[in-house]
Amino acid sequence: MKRSIIALLMAALCLTATACSGSSADAEKAAAEMAAKMEDSLKKAEAEAKAAEAKANEAAAAAPAEKPAEPAPAAAEPSAEMKDFLGGFGSSDQVEAALKKHGVEGLETGDMEMYDLKEPKVVATNGACYDFEAKAGMTVRTYEVCWAEGKINKVTDKGMR
């Protein structure tokens, strides 16, 4: 492509010089020669581009097919208590009420009740513990809650993103 541009510039320069210094026959001859050179350069560039594309296609065909990525394991189905707990979310007052309803006496909540938590969803499970995410304004907060005997006995604030 650079060669084609350079050839065009050279042709323009030659035509200008010839037109300013000689006869129109000389100018026409020089223009015809430059046009032929430019056409040859263009054909060569197109052939090189086709060869490069063919080589790339050949390499892609020869490469072993990539195995599709394994889908992420689905989170286990949360317990009925966990569903009920998350179903109580919304305003900070609703989160506080859900914690009081489902938590053991004196539960350390990690200040979860300070946030309006909306659209909670379980993202991971580990035995009786669930990791969930919920929208809190412009952020998404993540918590782990663990259950024992039908009550939340541990809350871990895993931060926000």
**What is residue 86's predicted lDDT score, i.e. its pLDDT?**
97
Burial class (CB in 10 A: 0-12, 13-18, 19+), 127: exposed
Q: What is the mean pLDDT of each run of 10 residues along the chain (161 residues)?
A: 62 58 68 75 80 78 61 69 96 97 95 96 95 96 96 96 88
109 secondary structure, DSSP code: -
List the chain domain ranges.
Answer: 2-62, 80-160
Residues in the chain: 161
Take residue 53 and report the two structure tokens written for it: 């594309």
**What is residue 25's predicted lDDT score, i.e. its pLDDT?**
72
